[in-house]
Structure 1
Amino acid sequence: MRQADRFGLHLGEFSFDFGKAIERSREVVDRFRRGLAFLFRKNGIELVQGVGRLRDANTIEVEGHEAISARSIIIATGASPRLLPELALSKRIMTSRQALERKDLPQKILILGGGNIGLEFTSIYLAYGLEVTVVEQLPHILPREDAEIADMVAGILSKRGVVLKTGIGVEKVIENEREVSLLLANGERLSGDALLLSIGVTPNTRGIGLELLDIKTERGYISINEKMRTSLPNVYAIGDITGLLPLAHVAAAQGVIAADEIAGKKTLPLHYERIPRVTYSIPQIASVGLAEEELREKGVSYSVGRFPFSASGLGPATEETDGQVKLLFDSSYGSVLGAHIAGAEASELIAPLALSMESEGTIEEILGTIFAHPTMSEAIKEAALASRGMALNL
């Protein structure tokens, strides 16, 4: 829509219904839930719905049902959005959970937390024309991403009108009938119609009986080994409750390992540093492996290659010129140490780089691969070439 006139498209009167969009998102989620229920029935899995609690290492009590006994138990209770101490949720103060159900739009929104969830909602609200201010206590947004990529995304968002406040803590949240405000540590006061809290998650471990079994935890998260076993050998834990990498595809992979281990099948350990991480913002951000700062801290000798989408074949053709591919290679062996992408379809482009890392591929395989033209993926090969000072289109 932003680039419609560039393609010769002249739009008339335009309107949107945010409530309809929310309803559709809930319909999609419900469809997935029904799909899972079907798969349960298809595979002979009994679903018992209710509040559960561990009675012992082989028994789960469920409110309104008979106790369930099993040889092995998998704990997958997930995590919930973190709240600020003594701050109650309200019509103006919400977490991602409430935001996904809210059908009305404020005109001006404050987002506390500049991580992946905060930026995903930033992109949603920005697309609907809201005034968005993001406050992040750490020095830059996307604190878990490569700093260069994070700074690039910050520049793109700022150019689009997002106000970013980084490296500043919040002293107080003030709410009244008209607005909600953040009092920052530097004395500045920011006000908006609503506040979205996106300051991380807390594990759902309270009240599920862990204390009865003396299952080992660390910072509230359940400790597991590479087989997903907890400190009790027949009790397993997967997903956000482990605190390792809070992503849906990680939880799914952990679940497969736990199930195979229980079934007596051979399992292979997860290499968490080789699992892709994606932020579904605009632009998308995707990464796998180590950031450049981590390589410096470890004293690893590396080479770096960058290629902007503005110089790719498809980027200018589709007006998707924001962002770049950044690749980090081991100086001695040429193995891929890290890949970081900001831009259109980054979530798709990261997959072959994760595959390269998992299969212990090197820069030579990338250089020897012919990428279709014009595509966004050409930037991968160009970035690899750039690491040797050989980029063809830059």
Structure 2
Amino acid sequence: MNAPANIAPLDVKAQFPGIPEGWHYLDSAATAQKPQAVIDAITNAYAHDYATVHRGVYERSAAMTRSYEAARAAVAGLVGGDPEGLVFTRGATEAINLVAASWGEANLNEGDRILLSRLEHHSNIVPWQMLAERTGAVIDVCPITADGRIDLSALEEMLSEHHKLVALSHVSNVFGSTLDVRAAADMAHKVGAKILIDGCQAVPRLDVDVAALGVDFYAFSAHKCYGPTGVGALWAQPGLLDHMPPYQGGGAMIDRVSLEDGTTYAPAPARFEAGTPHIVGAVGFHAAADWLSSLGREAIHNHELGLVAFAREELSKIDGLTLYGPDDSAGIVSFNMDGVHGHDVATILDDAGVAVRAGHHCAQPLMDYLGVSATVRASFAAHSDPSDVSALVEGIYKVKRIFG
């Protein structure tokens, strides 16, 4: 099969030592492979620069503290935010839990309402369910359109003055559909609600500007942005952080501790970073941010759009294959084959050197809506190229031969 000529080339696969020749990695929506620049930054931080931060008066500690805070500025820059509003977390999951436990506990009461959508990742559902159980708040669910987008018309109709929070995905991890965040934020703010956006699938490929989007909270992870696991970020309006109580207690987040007079806390964002942070993770996140910026996320997005179009065109020719989501999905193609479980499809593809994800993708409510237990998901990245699409399609034909 011939790839369309409009796929914008990004010749970076050689920068990824984890992708050997002949292996087609199509699971970047789960976690991205790491370019050599990120690996080198992590190695150097552990081998030559390592020390604690914010505590030592010796030079290496001071240097590592500067590197850690430089990482905060670089990561905040990925979403166009002020560093004062950037809290390092263990990932987007902890970032969302932080908002639920801190802002949510302080601001929600019995009868208040939270609005989610049908396509959310479990990490943007379960923390709100737990919060609702603790506070007596009520959760409403916005439907989705036929092509897999959050239905903004329904969202506007559902919102009321009882809603205190709207929590939505910027890009669906199953469909790759993109939300008009600014429109959703304006609707939320019109009724006095705050809005939190799960940006895990957006930040690796879209130019994000939290000011232009008008969001109150924005959560994302390093490992989906070509950085290390175990570190992520919550960006929040600094004025909101200043009035949120601490999420965890421990070292580094305090002003003064007294057994007699109690404890006073450091200003945000430090008050939300209890204990020794993932120092090298932050350094690696900085390297990933620089790498993304050097390529340009608009170029990455255009590259992935071309690959998605190519993949959907070829897969649509296969009898018995159902495609989900919009044609212009952001780097993700989900599908099923009649009579073949997704796990079997993924296993056969693995034998053919193609790595995809099969399962519910931590989106069981969406699977229930689709009437399936799982889908197969192929997700692209900056290093993907037309050969990956060709290998995927050839692997699907192999599945058809095996299952008749």
Question: Shorter chain as normaliser: what TM range?
Answer: under 0.3
The higher radius of gyration belongs to: 1
The structure carrying a bigger helix percent of its residues is 2
Answer 1 or 2: higher relative contact order, Cα 8 Å, separation at least 6. Answer: 2
Name the TM-score, length of structure 1 as normaliser. 0.27
Higher strand share: 1
- TM-score w.r.t. the length of structure 2 is 0.26
